[in-house]
Structure 1
Amino acid sequence: MARKDLLKALMDAAPADTPRAAVPPRPAKGAIGAVSQSIAELRDRALIEVPADLIDDAGLKDRLDEDDGIAQLAASIEEYGQQVPVLLRHSPNVEGRYEIVYGRRRVAALKSLGRPVRAMVRDLNTRDLIVTQGQENAARKDLSFIEKANFAAQMVEQGFERKVICDALHIDKTVISRMLSIVEALPSGLIPAIGAAPSVGRDRWLALAERAKGRGTDEVCALVSGETSDDRFSAVFAALAPKKDPKPAQNAPAPLKGAHGKALGEAKSSAKGAQIKLTDPEFSGWLVDNIEEIHRLFLEKRGE
């Protein structure tokens, strides 16, 4: 077969009336297989422009504050263009449509601008889509602790094994277990009510879970208030702080009375002694001058 015919056979697509998924893969060996693989890899890396209104959401929810920063991102794209492509897959349900693997915020920003989306397109099943999304999340530094923990919890709900979750997020089993224990301990609905809380790490979320033990979802979510997710976390955290034991009431000063019921002042006793305030200056001076004699009489009365 001539080289031109060989390349033509490799590049020919399925007939127009045949759905993509219905075309069976044709395994090839040797040089033909290597060339086929190279062409497939080039196709995976190739960038295309996709109308934003043909792109649907898919996979798991990775961001808790979805609208945060979209306007700023759109302004940046409008000025400098889309610098980083997104990853899409062909929709398994609707011919001609696409689903987001990662890059949701970029798609949202471009959709608000009415611009097409520069994207790589890969053929992925749902399992591979979620694993790929998890791997992308693991490499991003802007996802908060609770967003990653929430993503791991969603993978568990989808039936993924712990090993797959660990591989997807590049986190070991111990860390995954801690993440999941925190998500499970928090009242349902509290995480989305608070949001990403980017400044809050594992220890404070764990402390919040401890404080929220035994409380209902409605009760705890009613405590959420504040403009930012960090503010909302702080509001709930403070409201659930354990009540401190009130300080024991100090003894009230007792009045001091002399002969014939005359008021002399007041005395306030404590574990360390007593404080005496005298209102009669003449008696105060006499008491100071005679304190030694008064103490001697006290000792004699005690038998010392």
Structure 2
Amino acid sequence: MARKDLLKNLMDAAPSDAPRAAMPPRSAKGAIGAVSQSIAELRDRALIEVPVDLIDDAGLKDRLDEDDGIAELAASIRDYGQQVPVLLRHSPNTEGRYEIVYGRRRVAAMKTLGRPVKAMVRELNTRDLIVTQGQENAARKDLSFIEKANFAAQMVAQGFDRKVVCDALHIDKTVISRMLSVVEALPEGLIPAIGAAPSVGRDRWLALAERAKGRDGAELRAMVQGATSDARFAAVFAGTAPKKPAKATTASPAPLRGADGAALGEAKPSAKGAQIKLTDPEFSGWLVENIEEIHRLFLKKRGE
């Protein structure tokens, strides 16, 4: 059989109505199996256009500020086209529909434009979908610390062990543990209320988690104020700052009077003693000259 006929038979083996990018590899051995596998891999990398109303959400929530920048992204795509494809899988529940693996913002932008989405389609089970989504997130520089921490916490909640979470996000166990400690320490609803806080790094989130220990969740959520997520974080961070100890009240100066009732000055008590201010220069000079004798009388009176 000529090579071109072999390739034609392999390509024609699939039903004509099946999406090209979705074809599973044929189960075959030898040269035919290798060619079939190569064709399947090419289909996996091929781009198709999918009507946006056939695409459903899937996987875990990776962004906290979902609507942030969608209008700007849509304007850019309108002017320059969709430069980067999204990754989809066939819906396991509904024939003819697709689910997003990654590229949610691009799909949302295309929805506002009413245009079909350029996409690659892969056959993924739910586990592989979430791991692939995590690997994509690990490579993105625009996801904030708390968004990655929130994604890791969702993976753990789905039953993935720490090793899989680490592999998916390309982060070691120590960092994952710190991420999870932040999410676990903060009351439910606080992180979504604050948002992505892109300018806030790991150390400040860890500090907020420490400050939030033992605090009422409703009290913390009430502190969330501000037009941006960075401002909202700053408001909660300031609201949970340790209170400074109140300064000791300073006693008012006490007047000093002589035997005849005349004013001699004033004494200002303090924790370390007293500050004496004399207004009679002659008496103040005499006091300095006789301070030793005066102190001797004090000791005698005290019994020393």
**TM-score w.r.t. structure 1 length?**
0.89
> Hey, what's the Cα distance between the residues in 2 that align with 1:154 and 1:271?
55
> Hey, what's the Cα distance between the residues in 2 that align with 1:276 and 1:263?
13
Deviation at 1:264, TM superposition (A): 3.8
> Hey, what's the Cα distance between the residues in 2 that align with 1:39 and 1:296?
107
In structure 1, the residue matched to 2:221 is: 221
Q: 2:269 is paired with a residue of what secondary structure?
A: strand
**TM-score w.r.t. structure 2 length?**
0.89
Deviation at 1:43, TM superposition (A): 0.8
CA change 1:303–1:143 in 2 (3 A) is closer
Deviation at 1:13, TM superposition (A): 5.0
Deviation at 1:18, TM superposition (A): 8.8
2:206 is the alignment partner of 1:210: no
CA change 1:63–1:292 in 2 (3 A) is closer
Equivalent position to 1:286, from 282, 285, 300:
282
In structure 1, the residue matched to 2:180 is: 180
Give 1:95's aligned amino acid.
Answer: E
In structure 2, the residue matched to 1:3 is: 3
Deviation at 1:290, TM superposition (A): 3.1
Deviation at 1:24, TM superposition (A): 8.3
Deviation at 1:217, TM superposition (A): 2.2
Whether the 8 Å contact between 2:24 and 2:123 is mirrored in structure 1 is no
Give 1:267's aligned amino acid.
Answer: A
> Hey, what's the Cα distance between the residues in 2 that align with 1:24 and 1:71?
37
> Hey, what's the Cα distance between the residues in 1 that align with 2:19 and 2:115?
28
Give 1:285's aligned amino acid.
Answer: P
In structure 2, the residue matched to 1:85 is: 85
Runs (5+) with no aligned partner, structure 1: none
> Hey, what's the Cα distance between the residues in 1 that align with 2:296 and 2:7?
122
Q: 1:73 is paired with a residue of what secondary structure?
A: helix
Runs (5+) with no aligned partner, structure 2: none
Deviation string, structure 1 residues 112-145 (Cα, Å, up to 9, x no partner): 1222211111111111111100000000111111
Deviation at 1:16, TM superposition (A): 6.1
2:194 is the alignment partner of 1:194: yes
Q: 2:137 is paired with a residue of what secondary structure?
A: helix
> Hey, what's the Cα distance between the residues in 2 that align with 1:203 and 1:220?
19
Whether the 8 Å contact between 2:26 and 2:37 is mirrored in structure 1 is no
Deviation at 1:295, TM superposition (A): 2.5
Deviation at 1:216, TM superposition (A): 3.0
| Bigger mean CA deviation after superposition, 222-231 or 258-267 | 258-267
- Following superposition of structure 1 onto structure 2, how do residues 15-164 of structure 1 map, counting pairs within 5 Å? 15=15, 26-164=26-164
Q: 1:290 is paired with a residue of what secondary structure?
A: helix
Q: 1:259 is paired with a residue of what secondary structure?
A: coil
Deviation at 1:291, TM superposition (A): 4.0
> Hey, what's the Cα distance between the residues in 2 that align with 1:296 and 1:122?
97
> Hey, what's the Cα distance between the residues in 1 that align with 2:284 and 2:113?
89
How many residue pairs get aligned? The number is: 298
Q: 1:131 is paired with a residue of what secondary structure?
A: helix
Deviation at 1:260, TM superposition (A): 3.8
CA change 1:50–1:248 in 2 (3 A) is same
Q: 2:66 is paired with a residue of what secondary structure?
A: coil
Q: 2:198 is paired with a residue of what secondary structure?
A: coil
Calculate percent identity across the aligned residue pairs.
Answer: 79
CA RMSD of aligned residues (A): 2.4
Q: 1:261 is paired with a residue of what secondary structure?
A: coil
Deviation string, structure 1 residues 68-109 (Cα, Å, up to 9, x no partner): 111111122222221211111111222222111111111111
Give 1:109's aligned amino acid.
Answer: A
